[in-house]
Amino acid sequence: MASQQEATPALNLVMLGPPGAGKGTQAERISRTRQLPKISTGDILREAVHNSTPLGCAAKEAMEAGRLVGDDVMIGIVQERLDRADARQGFVLDGFPRTIVQARALDRMMDGRGPLVVLDIVVPEEVLVRRLATRRICDQCGSNAAVDWLNVCGKCGGKLVARVDDGVDIVRERLGVYHRQTKPVVEYYEGRPTFRLIDGNLPPDVVTGAIDAALGEAAARGVHL
C-alpha cells in the first residue's frame, strides 16, 4: 500500500484558458514552487520554428495564421515529453489539450499516473486583446517576456520583439479559434471534482493565491498533491 502511495504523482496539472490569460506565468510559478517540470507546447513549437526543424516548418504556417497545429502533431509532442523521467512524478502542462481529441488522448496517457487537476483561467476578451497586442518574445530563445524584463531576455540576453502571431488581427483570429475549438475542452472537464475556474483578470500574485487555494481544495477532495 505504501509503495502505491509513493508512486502516485505529486501533481498532474493542466492549465486551460485563452491566449493571453496568463497560463504561462502561473505555470512557471507552480513549476518552481512545487519542483515539477513545466511543459509548454507553445515553447516547444516556437523552438522548433526558430531552429527550422521538420516539426517547426510544418507548424510555422499555422502559427503565423493564428490556427491550431494538428492534433496528431500535438499529441505526439506531449506523449514524448510525458514519457521522460522527470515527468513521471507529475507535471504542469500549459497549452494542451486544446481539442476534445487531445483531451481524450491525455486521459489515455494518464493511465496509472493518478488524476488530473484542471484549472481554467478566465479573462474578458477585451483584456486579452490588449495583453496580446503588447506582448513580447525573445528573438533568440523564443521565451515570452516576463513583466519585469525590460529590453532583453531574462534567460539568454536576447532582444525582445513583438510576436509575429500577436498582431491585432491575428490575435482576434486566435481568440476566435479558441472559442470555436478549445472552449469545448472546458465543458469536457468541468464536471470533474478536480476542475476549478480561476479569475485571471487580477494581479498575478492574487491569481497565484487563488490557484494555491484551488489546489488545496482539490487535495481536500482526496487528490494526492
Residues carrying an active site annotation: 23, 98, 135, 163, 174
Nearest to 182 by CA among 88, 87, 118: 118
State the residue for C-alpha cell 512557471: 28
**Secondary structure, 3-state, the chain:** CHHHHHHCCCEEEEEECCCCCCHHHHHHHHHHHHCCCEEEHHHHHHHHHHCCCHHHHHHHHHHHCCCCCCHHHHHHHHHHHHCCHHHCCEEEEECCCCCHHHHHHHHHHCCCCCCCEEEEEECCHHHHHHHHHCCEEECCCCCECCCCCCCECCCCCCEEEECCCCCHHHHHHHHHHHHHHHHHHHHHHCCCCCEEEEECCCCHHHHHHHHHHHHHHHHHCCCCC
State the residue for C-alpha cell 516556437: 46
Planar angle of CA 42, 43, 45, nearest 5 degrees? 65
- Contact in structure between 185 and 103 (CB atoms under 8 Å): yes
